[in-house]
Amino acid sequence: MNLVRTAMLLAFMTALFMVVGFMIGGRGGMMIAFLVAAGMNFFSYWNSDRMVLSAYRAQEIDERNAPEFFAIIRDLARNAGLPMPKVYLYDSPQPNAFATGRNPQNAAVAASTGLLSALSPEEVAGVMAHELAHVQNRDTLTMTITATLAGAISMLGNFAFFFGGHRENNNNPLGFVGVLLAMIVAPLAAMLVQMAISRTREYSADRRGAEICGNPLWLASALGKIARGASEIPNYDAERNPATAHMFIINPLTGAGMDNLFSTHPNTENRIAALQEMAHGATNASTPAPPAANPMRKSRSVPDAGLSRGGSQPPKGPWS
């Protein structure tokens, strides 16, 4: 199902890219756009993760330079039955995180320095479990390729203004109207595709992430803190690369929460409410759930989830 979804997404984005080329340069422009889109799809499949990590100047870390954070990722990956991903940190005071990579065997997770400063280890575990859920659901390929193609479509829309708006273009069957459509409609359509994917994907990753870390309230608490941080602290790299906004656990763009209609993410309060309901159901379940293959409560890096204590405050962790 994920393979079919990815193929449909690539087909739609490629077709949109070709339509923009047709609006700018007629059939010749459409063929050029098709060749460019095909090349970008191939390049994005193999390199989009490196492009995104490079855009945020993320640095790979290991257990020597970030032992506690690395141990949390290792335990979560084991609990989810995933290969150990590469782990990155990027320098930003805004608390946030994202995952990338074409498959679980070539995945990477990245967190901001602000995330580790603002959140407890339990909340960090909830956030990174969410990102590993994206890896397990194979959302990361869709996310990275969508970001690359959406950025390219927006760039092509800007290109239409300079290349098609200042001279007579006999190859453009729609004339200046076609240029306007390429400038406005195409980037908007690409943005709508991103939003449609992101909104449904986030709820699924929230639920699976809560299962991986063992306590939905850890992620619920983290989402509230990250949302507040994202609204107060700008991420200048994200502002320069808005096509990557849907990859983050919370939209990193300034003012992102002002317009629910055009938000790349579901409403944070709704996500928190769903997680709280999940925790309430787990606490009051008449039949206890079977233990996970590698329960998080046995990890030295992530404390007991606390569900057996009726959802009380989680114990202090190594950051406290």
Nearest Cα to Cα of residue 109 among 137, 129, 79, 81: 129
The distance from CA 177 to its chain's CA centroid, rounded to whole angstroms, is: 34
CA 248/CA 207 separation, integer angstroms: 16
The catalytic residue among 122, 123, 131, 202 is 131
Catalytic residue at 232? Answer: no
Cβ atoms of residues 2 and 104 within 8 Å: no
What is the C-alpha separation between 53 and 89, in angstroms, rounded? 9
Supply the DSSP symbol for 116.
H
C-alpha closest to that of 248 among 150, 126, 112, 118: 112
Radius of gyration, alpha carbons of the chain: 21
174: Cβ contacts below 8 Å, ≥ 6 apart = 23, 181
What DSSP assignment string belongs to 160-218?
A: HHHHHSSS--TT-TTHHHHHHHHHHHHHHHHHHHHHHHHHHHHHHHHHHHHHHHS-HHH
DSSP letter at 263? -
CA distance 46 to 199: 25
- Exposed / middle / buried, residue 224 (Cβ in 10 Å: 0-12, 13-18, 19+): middle
The strands making up 86-90's β-sheet, listed across from edge to edge, are 59-61, 86-90, 108-112, 97-100
Residues with a catalytic annotation lie at: 131
